Amino acid sequence: GDGYDSSNGVGTKSATFTLADDGSKATVIVTAAGTKCPYTLTYTIYNSGVVLVKADLKPAVADLRRIGMAMQFPLAYKDVTYYARGPWSNYVDRKTGSRLGVYTTTVSDMFEELTSPQSCGNHEDLRYLVLKGPTSEKGFKIETSGQVAFSLLNYDDATLRATRHCWDLTAGSKIYAHFDYMQQ
Chain centroid to Cα 47, Å, comes to 24
pTM listed for this prediction:
0.87
Least confident segment among 1-15, 76-90, 168-182? 1-15
* 66-125: pLDDT as tens digits: 889 999 999 999 999 999 999 999 988 888 889 999 999 999 999 987 756 567 889 999
Q: How confident is the model at residue 1 (pLDDT cuts 50, 70, 90)?
A: very low
Q: Judge whether 66 and 82 are in contact, CB under 8 Å.
A: no
Sign of CA dihedral 26, 28, 51, 74: negative
Q: Which helix (H) or strand (E) holds 158?
A: helix 157-162
